[in-house]
Amino acid sequence: RVLEVDPMLQSHAEHLRYRFQQYQNTRGSIERHAGSLLNFARGAKDYGIHTTDELTVYREWAPAAQAAQLIGDFNGWKPLDMSLGDNGVWFIELPHGPGGAPAIPHGALVKVRLRLPGGEWVDRIPAWIKWAVVPQGEMGAKYVGVHWAPAEAHAWVHPRPPRPATLRIYEAHVGMSSEERAVASYTYFKDSVLPHIHASGYNAIQLMAVQEHAYYGSFGYHVTNPFAASSRSGTPEELKALIDAAHGLGIVVLLDVVHSHISSNCEDGLAGFDFGQGPDENYFLQGDRGYHKEWDSRLFNYAGYETLRYLLSNLHYWIQDMGFDGFRFDGVTSMLYHHHGIGIGFTGNYSEYFRFDYRLAMGEPDFWVRTVKQVADEDWSMTGMASALCDRRYSEATVGYVESHDQALVGDQTLAFQLMGTEMYTSMSARQHPLPPRIERGIALHKLIRLITMCLGGESYLNFMGNEEGNGWSYEHCRRLWSLLQSDDLLYPALGRWDAACMALDQKGGFIASRHQWVTLADDARQVLVAERGPYLFVFNWSPSTSYQGLEVPAPRPGKYRPVLDSDAREFGGQGRVDGATEHFSQPRAPQVHGRDQALMVMVPARCVAVYECVDG
């Protein structure tokens, strides 16, 4: 079927059949042993600590351990010997105490003590732990597991929203979402940030750095405890409340899940279960195949039966127990290829990569960084811009974006800061007439770059909350100044209104996910780009100095057109030069104008975009 949809894959047909056969073989083996893939992915119901009517049971897969003991504060840290069962699973069963009280109560601190093949004992956090914390008041304390089984678990109120026709994703980091100089909580995000995201028109949130990570500066990418919600921002129940509230607003919640690698930190995380044993008894590979030198992290043994159980169960847990609606998979090149993507550039050639539900258009932010930093405004190429934004397979849904956490992690600046620099701090008064040249240019281009990326860059759109990097471990720049959106004396509310207006336009017309996309004019000389997407006609004028009155642009069909969005409107920080009440009537053209037999005459100021809709055609 995939070869019918995309004949250009025909040269890879044999390899595609091989990969599909390998998938069928692996799935068949799982189903024969576990009964179904779903049963296999319910490992979180069996492994870790669980309470039945009569017992508390703890199970841990550690076949290379010579002995195992459960330790915790529930009995004064007295070691309790565990028994070795089938398939290298250590277990212990503890009867309830007086009155049916569980032997390991909710909130108990726990670790597993393992004896290595050489006889040494080490303490580790259970692999399936649902919460982990650093004990307060202990100098140099390491993380410790917490048995999470509250008597009053979160009671879900809202059903999951239906999958949006267009994903408009707001990428966010809970910890850095506060205006205060501190790590923000799940509760703060729920009460104070969700309303901003909802008001802006986003229908999806992508939460970063949720899986527990001992090193905060890793932005969540050195995961130590894959099943645990980061304790810096609160408890699992508080995270559930955040997700529930998002669902109540019609917002789906995606988890940035890290299965491509794991922190090398043995004392605080899963890497501590690697004693150097072979792949049949290990979550990880050994040698170069088990280590990512650029990330200083461990790599999973994806062919391992128990590794597959662990990772699939992890996905099931975050969906079924924690309420997430989907995932953004980090670092998939490291999962797919023996080279892990190290030193490899992906050009789009079919021989280089494979497809997913949505692919992040990682070349788009790189294109914008290069263009803004290295190319003079008058040299911006319309054909180059169209080529960069349309560079994807027709049948492959893509997430278009201008910037994300990737740029911040490598120390780059936000688009706004690249355009306006430190004048953002001193020259954003809305009462200035005219605006300082750098601010006027920056605001105009910021609006155009975002909208053209929505228009041409993919079938969904992602926006990033902002840079997370602090200076000298300071929170000064690692926070979000939401109050600027209420400062009408400044220009920031105008940018917020533009973003919301773009989201509203998609909500109305569904242009971002529309299969109808056609660049009908890319005029490098005049720096004009005209495109059709969904029901709208987009007219971009990128010229830094030339406004066009009576500009002829190709129209998709005969009829009356009205402007439905205009970046020069005063509410968006513009000069109000486009008359929103003007009606434009198409005129027939023979021969055709850029593939269309209809044309409009429009006015579009320099560095502006106007969007038109046919209202009676």
pLDDT tens digits, one per residue of 468-508? 555 566 777 778 889 999 999 999 999 999 999 999 999 99
Query: What's the CA gap between 604 and 601, in Å, rounded?
Result: 10
Report which secondary-structure segment, H or E, holds 326.
Answer: strand 326-329
Q: How far apart are CA 125 and CA 214, in angstroms?
A: 12
In three-state secondary structure terms, 346 is coil
Per-residue pLDDT, 411 = 59
Average pLDDT over residues 345-358: 62
Residue 161: both structure tokens together: 């929203």
Name all domains of the chain by residue range, CATH numbers in brackets.
2-40 (no CATH), 517-614 (2.60.40.1180)
**pLDDT tens per residue across span 364-398:** 999 999 999 999 999 999 999 999 999 987 778 99
Q: What is the overall mean pLDDT for the chain?
A: 92
Q: Nearest 10 degrees: CA dihedral of 294, 296, 301, 302?
A: -50
Q: What is the amino acid identity at position 71? A: I
Q: Rounded CA gap, 194 and 177, in Å? A: 10
- Whole-angstrom Cα distance, residue 82 to residue 89? 10
598: left (phi over 0), alpha (psi -120 to 50) or beta: beta
Where residue 93 falls among pLDDT bands split at 50, 70, 90? very high
Note whether 256 and 207 are within 8 A (CB).
Answer: yes
Report the phi/psi class of residue 229: left, alpha or beta, with left for phi > 0 and alpha for psi in -120 to 50.
beta
Q: How confident is the model at residue 347 (pLDDT cuts 50, 70, 90)?
A: low
Give the predicted TM-score (pTM) of the model: 0.94
Q: Which runs of E-coded beta strand occur in 18-108? A: 48-51, 55-61, 67-72, 80-81, 83-84, 89-95
Q: Which residues contact 376 (CB under 8 A, 6 or more apart)?
A: none
CA angle 555, 558, 562 (to 5 degrees): 70
Provide the phi-psi class of 43: left if phi over 0, else alpha when psi is between -120 and 50, else beta: alpha
Q: Model confidence at 404, in pLDDT bands (50, 70, 90)?
A: confident
User: Which amino acid belongs to residue 336?
Assistant: L
Closest CA to 520 of 596, 438, 577: 596
- Strand boundaries in 47-88, DSSP class E: 48-51, 55-61, 67-72, 80-81, 83-84
